């Protein structure tokens, strides 16, 4: 059982204070003695021993090396659904509570930012918007280079029919697409959606979008065998977690025309503690010389509205937890 701490004794480290509004900061400061800093790994290694609670997002990876130094730490707070940036095994060993958005279904249904970004990436791919923008910035104005594709009457294949998969499916319907979905667990689809096997989805889709959580069963879920089952050279979008795709297989698919293009908001190594992890990424290297891969830096969930909502929600969750263990 985790040792109790009274609120007036709590020392809190807010490691990404730039994402918190003045209102949110005031709410945190009602809980205890708060240090607000844009912390990097070196700062955490030097200072983590002084705090009972740490508030993080995904900028820093909280691994065993850090947790071994966190002698007073009782709670890690992260306003994210994924927790792959935290060593959960080590946290459990040290009896550190993780407070996140995972499982907060009712609250999460009020957030649409990731689904909207997914659709934005798809439109950029289909209409070559990012390429056309760079073309104009370079001083040119030739629309004949940027023939795109319409979405109406195309087949949208949605893998994962949870909150985000459902939202994206509704967007597809609004654009006049035929929407087919695959979910490991049996689901009841709404009007206009068709539940199919994974093989059928891979063979029929003009667009494949991935909305599955990362766990031990989904690591490299989308592998070379699945890419080879794609029959229509679809566009591919992933805004879930980078690790659910075999990145070597994706490069093969891009180079060999198994997919027309891909848009990714997540990469497998983004939780690496290496400062130059991005430049070591094979997908990043591929994107430097090829125009069929669009990358964004894990911004799908980052809007002014969604960040404020999640910050206030997770602060309230921390308050409730501390009151419970008092």
Show the tokens assigned to 174: 């609004």
Question: Is it the case that residue 46 has pLDDT exceeding 90?
Answer: yes
Using alpha carbons, select from 8, 79, 78 the residue that is nearest to residue 310: 79
Distance separating alpha carbons of residues 64 and 229, to the nearest angstrom: 39
pLDDT tens, position by position, 163-217? 999 999 999 999 999 999 999 776 666 667 889 999 999 999 999 999 999 999 9
Question: Is it the case that residue 4 has pLDDT exceeding 60?
Answer: no
The architecture that CATH gives domain 7-107+304-325 is 3-Layer(aba) Sandwich (3.40)
Distance separating alpha carbons of residues 171 and 237, to the nearest angstrom: 14
In the set 270, 305, 308, 321, the catalytic residue is 270
> What is residue 191's predicted lDDT score, i.e. its pLDDT?
65
In the set 298, 305, 308, 321, the catalytic residue is 298
Of 7-16, 32-41, 131-140, minimum mean pLDDT range: 7-16
Give the class (CATH, top level) of 112-295: alpha beta
**Where in the chain do CATH 3.40.50.720 domains reside?**
7-107+304-325, 112-295
pLDDT tens, position by position, 63-90? 999 999 999 999 999 999 999 999 999 9
In the set 16, 117, 241, 247, the catalytic residue is 241
- Tell me the pLDDT band of 3, cut-offs 50, 70 and 90: very low
* 241 a catalytic residue: yes
> What is residue 6's predicted lDDT score, i.e. its pLDDT?
47
Question: Is it the case that residue 1 has pLDDT exceeding 50?
Answer: no
Using alpha carbons, select from 241, 244, 168, 249 the residue that is nearest to residue 207: 168
Question: Is it the case that residue 47 has pLDDT exceeding 70?
Answer: yes
* 152 a catalytic residue: no
Question: Is it the case that residue 5 has pLDDT exceeding 90?
Answer: no
pLDDT tens, position by position, 239-297? 999 999 999 999 999 999 999 999 999 999 998 989 899 999 999 999 999 999 999 99
């Amino acid at each position: 059982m985790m040792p109790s701490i009274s609120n007036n004794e709590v020392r809190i480290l807010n490691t990404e204070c730039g994402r918190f509004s003045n209102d949110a900061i005031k709410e945190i400061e009602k809980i205890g003695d708060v240090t607000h800093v844009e912390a990097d790994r070196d700062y955490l290694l030097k200072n983590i021993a002084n705090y009972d609670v740490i508030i993080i997002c995904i900028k820093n990876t909280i691994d065993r090396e850090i947790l071994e130094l966190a002698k007073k730490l009782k709670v890690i707070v992260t306003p994210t659904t994924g927790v792959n940036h935290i060593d959960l095994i080590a946290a459990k060993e040290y009896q550190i509570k993780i407070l996140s958005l995972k499982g907060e279904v009712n609250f999460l249904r009020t957030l649409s930012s990731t689904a909207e970004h997914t659709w934005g990436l798809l439109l950029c791919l289909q209409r070559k918007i990012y390429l056309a923008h760079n073309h104009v910035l370079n001083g040119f104005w030739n629309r004949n280079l940027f023939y795109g594709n319409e979405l109406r009457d195309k087949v949208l294949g949605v893998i994962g029919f949870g909150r985000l998969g459902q939202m994206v499916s509704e967007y597809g319907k609004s654009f006049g697409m035929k929407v087919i979905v695959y979910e490991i667990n049996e689901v009841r689809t709404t009007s206009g959606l068709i539940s199919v096997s994974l093989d059928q989805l891979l063979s029929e889709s003009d667009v494949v979008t991935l909305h599955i959580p990362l766990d031990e069963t989904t690591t490299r879920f989308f592998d070379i065998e699945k890419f080879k089952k794609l029959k229509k050279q679809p566009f591919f979008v992933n805004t879930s977690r980078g690790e659910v795709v075999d990145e070597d297989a994706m490069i093969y698919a891009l180079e060999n025309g198994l997919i027309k293009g891909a848009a990714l908001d997540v990469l497998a190594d983004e939780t690496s503690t290496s400062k130059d992890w991005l430049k070591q990424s094979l997908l990043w290297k591929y994107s430097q010389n090829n125009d069929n891969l669009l990358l964004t830096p894990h911004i799908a969930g980052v809007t002014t509205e969604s960040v404020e909502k999640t910050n206030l929600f997770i602060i309230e969750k921390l308050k409730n937890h501390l009151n419970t263990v008092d």
